[in-house]
Amino acid sequence: MVVLLKHVIPVHLLITSVVLAELYKPNTRIACSKESHCPPDWPCCSPYGDCGSGPVCLGGCNPKLSFEDTACAPLPILYSPATELRYDRSIPPSSSKDEVFQQMINEHYPQEAPSNFEKEILQNNKLHLNSRGIIHFTDYLMTDSVDKAKDMLSKYQFLYSGPINIDPQTNDIQLNMPKQSSGSLITSAKYFLYGKLHVRLRAARSIGVVTGLVLISQVGDEIDFEFLGAELNFVQTNYYSQGELIHTNMQKYHIPTNIWATYHTYSIDWNPDRILWMVEGQIIRTLFKRDTWDPVSKRFKYPETPMRLEIAIWPGGAATNPPGTISWAGGLINWDTAPDILEKGQFSVYVQHANIVPYINPKITEKQRDVGTHQGCLKMFTFAYDSKKNPLYNEDSLKWHCCIIPKMANWRSSGKNI
């Protein structure tokens, strides 16, 4: 995160940001797992198995491994085609750069104007991302103001971490992995339960470099496309249920044209009964729920909880990874003489278009009828998990909320404070 912030804000603000960022996690890492849930002081379990608070309690917060269900904040959900999420490089920015710039000036300099040097830095990367509806995950919904939270919910489509930018020539979202770094990630700001996903991108190349296009839920349901930089004419498809890593679910598909040199549209059509994986509109794999029945656990091992989109570049071939991961990624990354390192100093993924069109959610439609517009209910719904309803953390565990505005008043807040 420091690498990214150096190109966004002045040094004195960088120092402040780093200090603040540490306030949402303990100085010594606390891991969360089935055997050890998060403690009350750091109640929220991140998607990466770390306990924290504030922004960790939003987004991918895992209620199964957190201190309790209510530590994770209720999350916004797309519930009908009218609420679709979209990034398209050809669509003008959602707000002007001047407007975003002035907002940033007001936030960082409430009493005095910044210097010209500081203005130049502020106008750089973060400004472009914000104007395109993309915000850093540590900024999203971090406010004690309901009005500001509402504004964020309507303005921002994606969250990011790591070094990403908007390509100045194409307006593509560019996810970067500089030398010896952990890569970068964008995620959809809202979840959906069943629908269609379309992403047009160019994957990264080179041995050990992995591009991921993933639908993932808080409790570990997952539907994947994965691209290995060492296999530029193949894509892998996979799915998981409740975080159970059954790697034999993976299937590989041959793509005639190079996935690094050529943009391709990758699609997932997910409903309660089946999943379709598609490349350029052609179905390459079909999975039926009926075929996922497990007689031992007596359940269908089928993704059935709200997902968010994640697109990432990450170092599968990093020397610190387990040998199995390095082997799967094609080998160790060449951080010194790989072509993209020599030419640009980093590996990159380019996202031209991303679109999620949810199917109509009958539970929310029913709740809309029950609440009625006369009560002033917002056209915004959130969901949360309630293990008292169903301890399996599946679709039957979900609670649907209207008019709850998810936000964190400070870095130590959790879902219980909303």
What pairing do the DSSP bridges indicate for beta strands 85-88 and 184-188?
Answer: unpaired
Local structure of residue 33 (DSSP, 8 states): -
Where in the sequence numbering do the catalytic residues fall?
A: 222, 226
pLDDT in tens, the chain (418 residues): 222 322 222 322 332 334 444 689 999 999 999 999 999 999 999 999 999 999 999 989 999 999 999 999 999 999 999 999 999 988 888 766 556 555 655 555 555 555 555 545 545 678 889 999 999 999 999 999 999 999 999 999 999 999 999 998 999 999 999 999 999 999 999 999 999 999 999 999 999 999 999 999 999 999 999 999 999 999 999 999 999 988 899 999 999 999 999 999 999 999 999 999 999 999 999 999 999 999 999 999 999 999 999 999 999 999 999 999 999 999 999 999 999 999 999 999 999 999 999 999 998 888 777 766 545 555 789 999 999 999 999 999 999 998 889 999 999 999 999 8
Total count of domains within the chain: 2
Domain shared by 294 and 332, yes or no:
yes
Contact 43, 33 (CB under 8 A): no
**Residue 300 placed within a domain:** yes
Q: Of 311, 337, 358, which one is at a domain's C-terminal end?
A: 358
**Residue 402 placed within a domain:** yes
Domain shared by 345 and 383, yes or no:
no
Domain shared by 408 and 352, yes or no:
no
Domain shared by 242 and 378, yes or no:
no
Domain shared by 330 and 286, yes or no:
yes
**61 is in which domain, residue-wise?**
31-79+361-417
Contact 184, 177 (CB under 8 A): yes
Q: Of 322, 341, 358, which one is at a domain's C-terminal end?
A: 358
Report the pLDDT value the prediction gives residue 115, as an integer from 0 to 100. Answer: 59
**Residue 302 placed within a domain:** yes
Domain shared by 371 and 320, yes or no:
no
| Of the candidates 168, 108, 157, 120, the residue with the CA atom closest to the CA atom of residue 135 | 157
Domain shared by 351 and 371, yes or no:
no
Residue 37, token pair as written in the block: 């849930």
Domain shared by 327 and 383, yes or no:
no
Residue 169, token pair as written in the block: 């020539």
Q: Of 307, 340, 358, which one is at a domain's C-terminal end?
A: 358
- Integer distance in angstroms from the first to the last C-alpha of the chain? 27
| Residue for token pair 């690094």 | 260
Domain shared by 293 and 379, yes or no:
no
Local structure of residue 39 (DSSP, 8 states): P
**Residue 326 placed within a domain:** yes
In 280-403, which ranges are E strands? 282-288, 293-294, 299-300, 307-315, 346-358, 381-385, 398-402
Domain shared by 404 and 306, yes or no:
no
Domain shared by 341 and 366, yes or no:
no
Rounded Cα distance between 1 and 5, Å, is 6
**Residue 233 placed within a domain:** yes
Domain shared by 312 and 372, yes or no:
no
**Residue 217 placed within a domain:** yes
CA distances to 288, 368, 371, 379 from 375, rounded to whole Å, are: 41, 11, 7, 12
CB-neighbour burial class of residue 90 (10 A; exposed 0-12, middle 13-18, buried 19+): exposed
**Residue 45 placed within a domain:** yes
